[in-house]
Amino acid sequence: MAQVADQGHFNRSLGLVHVFSLSTGAMISSGLFLLPGLAVAMGGPSAILAYTIAGLMAVPAMLSVAELSTAMPRAGGAYYFLERALGPAVGTIAGFGTWLSLVLKDAFAMIGMSAYLNLVFDVPAKPLALALITGFTVLNIVGSKTSAVVQIGLVSFVLTVMLVFLAAGLPEVGSGAGSLEPFFESGAGGVAAVVGLVFVSYGGLTKVASVAEEIEDPSRNLPLGMTLSLLVSTVLYTLAVTVAVAVVPAEKLRNDLAPIHSAADAVLPAAGVTLVVLAALAAFSSAVNAGILAAARYPLAMSRDGLIGSFFQRLSTQKTPVAGILVTGAAMALVVAVFDVAAIAKLASAFVLLTLGLVNLAVIVLRASHIRSYAPGFRAPFFPYLQLAGMALAVYLIFELGSLALVLVIASILVALAWYLVYGRARAEHAGAIYHVFERWGRSADHSLDRDISAAMQSHGLRAGDEYAGLVARAAVISLSEGANIDEAALRASEVLGRRMNLHSDAVTAQFLETGSLWIQPSDRHPTATPVAFFDVDDEHLIIVRAAAGIRIPARWGGHGERVNALFFLAGRNLDPGRTLRLAGELADYILRDSGLSMVEAWFEAEVKSALLPELEIEQYSLLAELPAGALIGHRVGDLTPPPGVDLEAVRRKGRVLRTDGDLVLEADDQLTVIGPIGSLPPADELAASLIAV
* C-alpha closest to that of 332 among 294, 383, 279, 369: 294
Contact 444, 435 (CB under 8 A): yes
Question: What integer pLDDT is reported at residue 439 of this predicted model?
Answer: 47
User: Across the beta sheet with 616-622, what order do the strands follow?
Assistant: 616-622, 671-677, 647-653, 656-659
Q: State the pLDDT confidence band at 501, using cuts at 50, 70 and 90.
A: very high
- Judged by average pLDDT, the poorest of 141-155, 171-185, 287-301, 362-376 is 141-155
Q: Is the pLDDT of residue 484 over 50?
A: yes
* C-alpha closest to that of 30 among 143, 148, 146, 129: 129
Q: State the pLDDT confidence band at 273, using cuts at 50, 70 and 90.
A: very high
- Judged by average pLDDT, the poorest of 8-22, 91-105, 168-182, 609-623 is 8-22
User: pLDDT higher for 316 or 31?
Assistant: 31
Cα separation, 421 vs 132, whole angstroms = 37
- Judged by average pLDDT, the poorest of 141-145, 364-368, 561-565, 608-612 is 141-145
Q: Is the pLDDT of residue 308 over 80?
A: yes
Q: State the pLDDT confidence band at 10, using cuts at 50, 70 and 90.
A: very low
Q: Is the pLDDT of residue 623 over 60?
A: yes
Report, as an integer, the average pLDDT of 390-398.
Answer: 93
Report, as an integer, the average pLDDT of 135-148.
Answer: 64
Q: State the pLDDT confidence band at 464, using cuts at 50, 70 and 90.
A: low
Q: Is the pLDDT of residue 471 over 70?
A: yes
**In sequence order, what are the beta bridge partners of 535?**
573
What are the pLDDT digits (tens) for 280-293?
A: 998 888 777 777 87
Share of residues in the chain with pLDDT > 70 (%): 85
Mean pLDDT score of the chain: 83
Q: State the pLDDT confidence band at 462, using cuts at 50, 70 and 90.
A: low
- Where is 534: in which H helix or E strand? strand 528-535
**Angle, to 10 degrees, between the axis of helix 448-456 and the axis of helix 77-117?**
50
Helices (H), 118-185: 125-141, 148-169
Report, as an integer, the average pLDDT of 46-71.
Answer: 92
Report, as an integer, the average pLDDT of 338-350.
Answer: 90
Cα separation, 255 vs 564, whole angstroms = 67
Report, as an integer, the average pLDDT of 332-347.
Answer: 91
Q: Which domains does the chain have, with CATH numbers?
A: 3-7+16-372+379-424 (1.20.1740.10), 461-610 (3.40.930.10), 616-691 (3.30.70.1450)
- Judged by average pLDDT, the poorest of 93-102, 144-153, 662-671 is 144-153
Question: What integer pLDDT is reported at residue 595 of this predicted model?
Answer: 46
Count of C-beta atoms within a 10 Å radius of residue 63: 26
Contact 571, 530 (CB under 8 A): no
What are the pLDDT digits (tens) for 560-575?
A: 788 888 899 999 888 8
Q: State the pLDDT confidence band at 4, using cuts at 50, 70 and 90.
A: very low
* C-alpha closest to that of 620 among 670, 675, 672: 672
Q: Is the pLDDT of residue 483 over 80?
A: yes
Residues 6+ apart with CB under 8 A from 418: none
Cα separation, 76 vs 61, whole angstroms = 17
What values do phi and psi take at 626, rounded to 5? -85, -5
Question: What integer pLDDT is reported at residue 563 of this predicted model?
Answer: 87
**In sequence order, what are the beta bridge partners of 479?**
546
